[in-house]
Amino acid sequence: MTPVYIILLVLAALIIIGLAFYAGKLFAKVRLQNIKNEQAIAAQKSLIKKNNDKLTESIVLIAKAVSEEQCELSEAAIRICRLLEKVYLEQDANFPAKFPALHELDTFLADYPTHAGYKALKRQERMRFDVKRSQQEERLKDAIINECITLKTFTVTPNQ
How far is it, in rounded angstroms, from Cα 58 to Cα 54? Answer: 6
- Specify the number of domains making up the chain: 1
Q: Is residue 80 part of a domain?
A: yes
pLDDT tens, position by position, 18-69: 999 999 999 999 999 999 999 999 999 999 999 999 999 999 999 999 999 9
Residues shown for the chain: 160
Phi and psi (nearest 5°) for 121? -70, 155
Spatial CA neighbour of 149 closest among 56, 78, 93, 68: 68
Phi and psi (nearest 5°) for 30? -65, -45
Asked if residues 80 and 59 have their Cβ atoms less than 8 Å apart, the reply is: yes
Note the pLDDT of residue 149.
96
Q: Is residue 101 part of a domain?
A: yes
- Domain residue limits at 69: 3-151
Q: Is residue 157 part of a domain?
A: no
How far is it, in rounded angstroms, from Cα 98 to Cα 54? Answer: 21
pLDDT tens, position by position, 117-153: 888 889 899 899 899 999 999 999 999 999 999 999 9
Q: Is residue 114 part of a domain?
A: yes
Q: Is residue 18 part of a domain?
A: yes
How far is it, in rounded angstroms, from Cα 64 to Cα 76? Answer: 10
Q: Is residue 75 part of a domain?
A: yes
Q: Is residue 79 part of a domain?
A: yes
Q: Is residue 136 part of a domain?
A: yes
pLDDT tens, position by position, 56-86: 999 999 999 999 999 999 999 999 999 999 9
Q: Predicted confidence band at 112 (pLDDT cuts at 50, 70, 90)?
A: confident
